[in-house]
């Protein structure tokens, strides 16, 4: 008799516990697995970085000469710096088109017909000087 009472009391408890555990394990979503540590390659014909307001801040794209160009823009969307895959770094005036500074080494005419560069070229009002020390 005691065995029957013990069995009648314990068996439903154990069954309910196991049933609940099975239900949770079947209904729960599987855990996400970590991605591999290998870097994945991303391919596109151009990349454009925009600010929260939609202003273009940077653009990486191919040139018509087959090299790549990275253009960096100020907060107003005006081009201020270009790094070209043929070996030139250009800094632009506030209008975004007038060269203030070009440096590097190229062998062909630039996209806008600029002469090849071997060294540093400054705009007409450019100067060379030392940056003053901090106070």
Q: How far from chain centre, in Å, is Cα 99?
A: 27
pLDDT of residue 134: 81
Task: For the chain, give the longest Cα–Cα distance.
Answer: 109
Q: Residue 135: helix, strand or coil by DSSP?
A: coil
Ranges of beta strands (E only) in 10-108 are 47-50, 56-62, 68-73, 79-84, 88-92, 99-105
What residue ranges do the domains of the chain occupy?
A: 47-122
Q: What is the CATH number of domain 47-122?
A: 3.90.930.1
Q: Provide the pLDDT for residue 31.
A: 64
CA–CA dist 32, 35 (Å, integer): 9
Can you give the pLDDT of all 135 residues of the chain as single tens digits? Answer: 555 655 566 556 666 666 666 666 666 666 666 666 777 788 889 999 999 999 999 999 998 878 899 999 999 999 999 998 888 898 998 898 888 888 888 877 766 667 777 888 787 777 777 778 887
Task: Specify the 3-state DSSP secondary structure of 14.
Answer: helix
């Amino acid at each position: 008799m005691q065995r029957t009472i013990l069995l009648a009391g314990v068996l439903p408890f154990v069954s309910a516990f196991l049933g609940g555990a099975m239900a949770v394990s079947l209904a729960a979503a599987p855990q996400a697995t970590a991605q591999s540590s290998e870097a994945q390659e991303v391919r596109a014909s151009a990349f454009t970085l925009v600010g929260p307001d939609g202003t273009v801040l940077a653009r990486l794209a191919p040139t018509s000469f087959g090299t790549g160009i990275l253009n960096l823009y100020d907060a107003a969307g005006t081009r201020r710096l270009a790094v070209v895959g043929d070996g030139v770094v250009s800094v632009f005036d506030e209008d975004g088109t007038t060269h203030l500074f070009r440096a590097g080494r190229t062998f062909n005419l630039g996209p806008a017909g600029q002469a090849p560069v071997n060294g540093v070229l400054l705009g007409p009002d450019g100067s060379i000087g030392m940056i003053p020390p901090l106070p």
